[in-house]
Amino acid sequence: MLQLKIVIIGAGNVAWHLGKGLQDKGQIIHQVYNRSIDPAISLSKRLQCDYTNKIKDISTKADLYIIATKDSAIKKISESLNINNQLVVHTSGIEDINTIKHNRNGVFYPLQTISKKRKLDFKNTPFCIETSRSKDLSLLSSLAKLLGSKVYNINTHQRKVIHVAAVFACNFSNYMYMISEEILSKEKIPLEILNPLIQETANKINNHKPKDVQTGPAMRKDIYSIKKHLEYLKEGNKHDIYKLITENIIAINKHEL
Amino acid sequence: MLQLKIVIIGAGNVAWHLGKGLQDKGQIIHQVYNRSIDPAISLSKRLQCDYTNKIKDISTKADLYIIATKDSAIKKISESLNINNQLVVHTSGIEDINTIKHNRNGVFYPLQTISKKRKLDFKNTPFCIETSRSKDLSLLSSLAKLLGSKVYNINTHQRKVIHVAAVFACNFSNYMYMISEEILSKEKIPLEILNPLIQETANKINNHKPKDVQTGPAMRKDIYSIKKHLEYLKEGNKHDIYKLITENIIAINKHEL
């Protein structure tokens, strides 16, 4: 059975769930590092393991180092690691694999929206993996499969593209929900009334291309409704977002985006 | 048991599913009207009922007239109906109840994204109903419940607000999926890889406020990633949409939208 001794670097959303997920599947979380001490302590309590907030105290004895910090910290941390020939990976959607200068480097990127306050289902979390050495690719693939995840071999350029696409599909659609909630709350209507619509919109994508199931005033060029909506929204940010997206949807059939 | 003789006016997405749904629950679809004849014939075949494309030939003998045309046609059609004291409703999210001048008027608005090519699950389609006479409210409520739907008593102003909110939550989030697909397709990556992310983003809304589960570069003010994304998108529509929404997400914690 695969059993690795792992150091988790970072104590944010990804570290929080990945550490626990790997531990639950029999991996040994050897140590947690985080620059500020309180999150390091919280995560070490969750995982019942050692912690440190000093880079020089990061264990030299692990098989695998998972850098799950913010993107801009990956380079510096990986350079500071005092290791021999162990595998070092980051979990970023946007960073080059070669941001990590060690011979055995890699990427272990969970393609999911992750919050500490919400349980993460790894069966529902594809992993995009990349390594310099092919043996390490098998290792990361086994690790992801152990979690129950689907695995994709994705190079750095592809991963960056996926990351941009994910911002639209996830972060921006959630922001659309947020605007909806604000609009409804002014009338004391709960967002609950839109839940079936939100679920159905997402479900459709399982079987249809988004373009084929685009509905609404903009898609049917219903200028009458669009004008009423813009009047209701008056000026301001919601108005501007409505206008820009509507113009783009109207243009779908005229030219490529 | 409730059994009404119904005329369906219009043959678009809503008429297509509502006619069939009501018939499946024992209601009598007496006739279909549509201005252009081909869609009228298609729907009449689906429902095995009479059809016409002449307003003056619309039956005077039904209990209920459901106007499921485009919004701007509702007024004229309702004025042309040669009826006595029967109930006339429209299915619009945006039109006043009083767009229909008859004494017994109402609204029967399905709050769902509806395409002909996709089966509609009425159990998952809330109805917003409104009538001038309270007896008719019970009637519409019974009809919606017969379909298995959740029913909300919603006045015209509230309904218009819900409609605007629905454009953001549904039409605009689907458009975000469409942009994602376009970005991925340039790299020959299927949208499938983002499906779990899209589903999870929508599922979160069942238990969390959108604001509490907003993630991504803009939410964490990760200017480093945002710059890289904007560089990748270069100029053009996707760039402008990314920029506008990102600016708004960054501003979330500074002021109300």
The pLDDT of residue B116? 87
> Most B CBs within 10 Å: which of A122, A125, A149, A176, as the mutation test of the B interface?
A176
Of B113, B191, B195, the CB nearest to A200: B113
Question: Contacts of residue A194 in chain B, CB cutoff 8 Å?
Answer: 111, 162, 165-166, 169-170
Q: Is the pLDDT of residue A257 over 60?
A: no
The pLDDT of residue A124? 94
Question: Contacts of residue B238 in chain A, CB cutoff 8 Å?
Answer: 168, 257
Residues A154-209: pLDDT tens digits? 999 999 999 999 999 999 999 999 999 999 999 999 999 999 999 999 999 999 99
Question: Contacts of residue B129 in chain A, CB cutoff 8 Å?
Answer: none
Nearest to A194 by CA among B120, B176, B166, B203: B166
**Nearest residue of B to residue A247 by CA position?**
B237
Tokens of A80: 């500071």
Question: Contacts of residue B210 in chain A, CB cutoff 8 Å?
Answer: 174-175, 177-178, 180-181, 191
- Secondary structure (3-state) at A120: coil
Mean pLDDT, chain A, rounded, equals 95
Q: How far is B97 from chain A (nearest CA, A)?
A: 15
Helices marked H in A147-194: 156-166, 173-185
Mean pLDDT along residues A74-80 = 96
Instruction: Order the strands of the A105-110 sheet from edge to edge.
Output: A50-52, A28-33, A5-9, A64-67, A87-90, A105-110, A127-131, A151-153
Q: How far is B38 from chain A (nearest CA, A)?
A: 19
Question: Contacts of residue A174 in chain B, CB cutoff 8 Å?
Answer: 201, 204-205, 210, 213-215
Predicted ipTM of the assembly = 0.92
Tokens of B106: 């109402």
- Secondary structure (3-state) at A125: coil
Sign of the C-alpha dihedral computed for residues B26, B27, B29 and B35 taken in this order: negative
Q: How many CB atoms lie within 10 A of CB B97?
A: 17
Give the rounded percent of residues in chain B with a pLDDT score beyond 90: 92
Is residue B36 packed enough to be buried (19+ CB in 10 Å), middle (13-18) or exposed (0-12)? exposed
Question: Contacts of residue B166 in chain A, CB cutoff 8 Å?
Answer: 180, 194, 197
Residues A125-143: pLDDT tens digits? 999 999 999 999 999 999 9
Q: Is the pLDDT of residue B162 over 80?
A: yes
DSSP letter string over B85-111? S-EEEE--SSS-GGGS-SSSEEEEEE-
Whether residues B211 and A181 touch (CB distance < 8 A) is answered with yes
Q: How many CB atoms lie within 10 A of CB A219?
A: 18
Mean pLDDT along residues B119-140 = 97
Mean pLDDT along residues A3-32 = 97
Residues A205-228: pLDDT tens digits? 999 999 999 999 999 898 989 999
Of B162, B171, B215, the CB nearest to A189: B162
State the pLDDT confidence band at B254, using cuts at 50, 70 and 90.
low
**Nearest residue of A to residue B94 by CA position?**
A225
Q: How far is A130 from chain B (nearest CA, A)?
A: 16
Radius of gyration of chain B (CA): 22
Q: How far is B93 from chain A (nearest CA, A)?
A: 9
Whether residues A118 and B157 touch (CB distance < 8 A) is answered with no
Q: How far is A10 from chain B (nearest CA, A)?
A: 15
Residues A230-253: pLDDT tens digits? 999 998 899 999 999 999 999 987
Query: Phi and psi at residue A67, in whole multiples of 5°?
Result: -90, 105
Cα A121–chain centre separation: 13
Nearest to A25 by CA among A152, A123, A143, A127: A143
Nearest to B154 by CA among B100, B114, B103, B97: B97
Whether residues B164 and A183 touch (CB distance < 8 A) is answered with yes
Mean pLDDT along residues A24-40 = 97
What's the CA gap between B164 and B201, in Å, rounded? 21
Of the listed ranges A133-137, A234-238, B46-50, B240-244, the one predicted with least confidence: A234-238
